[in-house]
């Protein structure tokens, strides 16, 4: 496994425009339930799935009834979105945020609606399927923070006078054109795409790696960190797969990136992102060109984990494990 961790770290440090794609596998490690897994929401409650397929049409036909259902005041729905907003990020989220803070990751595009990337400190996040943290107007396209509305009077109204819905993209609802166009542009622009925690079967999101491979930059590197092989693995779209949990693999990648960038000696402990890692402490910072890549971090993020603060060994994950499968670029 360590050789592939090192290869991914080296690929990321060498990249000029790296982006990250994330799916449900990143958030399940925070306790966010999936939908179609063995204990998924829809697996255990088929009626909830049936309701989900009707939700977009319900909003179009009766916005007030839509909101009463979404807030759990009528029907069999519950305040699932409100509960989701209470969930906290896990080490995988924090690792992605650190890679952005280091200037390596330029954009994170996520299928997840939970807002955990922002909670972890990632700034440039594109919500392909929307987010529970925002409301959206289908008429003018405006988006607003959920916290800007009390939701006591239903439905909430946009400044243009039209009803607002959750920014979340429901079944039968088109992906907002601004998001779709921007995501495709990022896929064509990147020279490295890191795909984390997604089964790569939900389209059009699942088409982004193929866009990067076929229409993007020459020599683009596409790497998966997933619990299981995906169609991207089998079809040869990705260059290699690191098979394991994102919350275990990604902190190891951050550690190795830090070593390559001259932030200190390798550490046998893998940073979880939940608290600072020793190798990123002020005392381990050499005056190197690599430091310039993140020179503004301390000023802009004085509380960002891992910078300018030392940590005890107990704050790190020890002995994280993951199995690795590798397909060489030539297909062997």
CA distances from 185 to 107, 204, 233, 246 (A): 11, 14, 23, 25
**CA 120 – CA 106 distance, rounded (Å):** 16
User: Which spans in the chain are helix H?
Assistant: 2-14, 24-27, 41-44, 46-61, 63-70, 80-84, 91-101, 116-120, 177-189, 208-215, 231-234, 246-260, 289-292, 297-300
Q: Are 13 and 260 in contact (CB under 8 A)?
A: yes
Residue 24's H or E segment, with its range, is: helix 24-27
Residue 49, token pair as written in the block: 């799935």
Q: Phi and psi dihedrals of 225, rounded to 5?
A: -125, 100
Q: Give me the helix-helix angle, 177-189 and 208-215, nearest 10°.
A: 40
Torsion of CA 257, 106, 127, 29, to 10 degrees: 0
Q: Phi and psi dihedrals of 127, rounded to 5?
A: -95, 100
**CA 88 – CA 74 distance, rounded (Å):** 28
Q: Are 199 and 230 in contact (CB under 8 A)?
A: yes
Q: Are 108 and 125 in contact (CB under 8 A)?
A: yes
**CA 114 – CA 130 distance, rounded (Å):** 9
State the catalytic residues. Answer: 129
């Amino acid at each position: 496994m360590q050789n592939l961790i090192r290869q991914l770290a080296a690929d990321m440090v060498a990249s000029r425009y790296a982006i990250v794609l994330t799916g449900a596998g990143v958030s399940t490690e925070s306790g966010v339930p999936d939908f179609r897994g063995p204990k998924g929401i829809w697996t255990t409650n088929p009626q909830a799935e049936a309701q989900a397929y009707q939700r977009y049409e319900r909003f179009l036909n009766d916005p007030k009834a839509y909101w009463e259902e979404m807030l759990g005041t009528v029907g069999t729905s519950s305040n699932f979105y409100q509960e989701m907003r209470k969930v906290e990020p896990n080490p995988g989220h924090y690792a992605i945020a650190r890679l952005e803070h280091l200037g390596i990751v330029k954009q994170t595009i996520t299928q997840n609606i939970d807002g955990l990337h922002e909670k972890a400190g990632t700034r440039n996040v594109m919500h392909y399927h929307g987010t529970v943290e925002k409301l959206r107007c289908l008429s003018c396209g405006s988006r607003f923070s959920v916290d800007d509305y009390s939701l006591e009077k239903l439905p909430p109204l946009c400044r243009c006078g039209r009803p607002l819905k959750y920014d979340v993209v429901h079944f039968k609802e088109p992906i907002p054109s601004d998001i779709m166009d921007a995501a495709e542009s990022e896929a064509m622009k990147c020279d490295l795409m890191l795909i984390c925690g997604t089964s790569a079967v939900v389209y059009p999101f699942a088409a982004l790696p193929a866009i990067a491979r076929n229409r993007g930059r020459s020599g683009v590197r596409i790497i998966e960190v997933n619990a299981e092989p995906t169609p991207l693995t089998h079809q040869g779209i990705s260059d290699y797969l690191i098979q394991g949990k994102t919350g275990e693999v990604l902190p190891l990648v951050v550690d190795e990136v830090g070593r390559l960038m001259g932030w200190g000696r390798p550490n046998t402990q893998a940073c979880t992102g939940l608290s600072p890692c020793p190798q990123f402490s002020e005392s381990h910072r050499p005056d190197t060109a690599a430091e310039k890549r993140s020179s503004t971090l301390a000023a802009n993020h004085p509380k960002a984990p891992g910078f300018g603060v030392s940590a005890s060994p107990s704050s790190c994950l020890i002995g994280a494990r993951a199995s690795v499968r590798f397909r060489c670029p030539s297909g062997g």
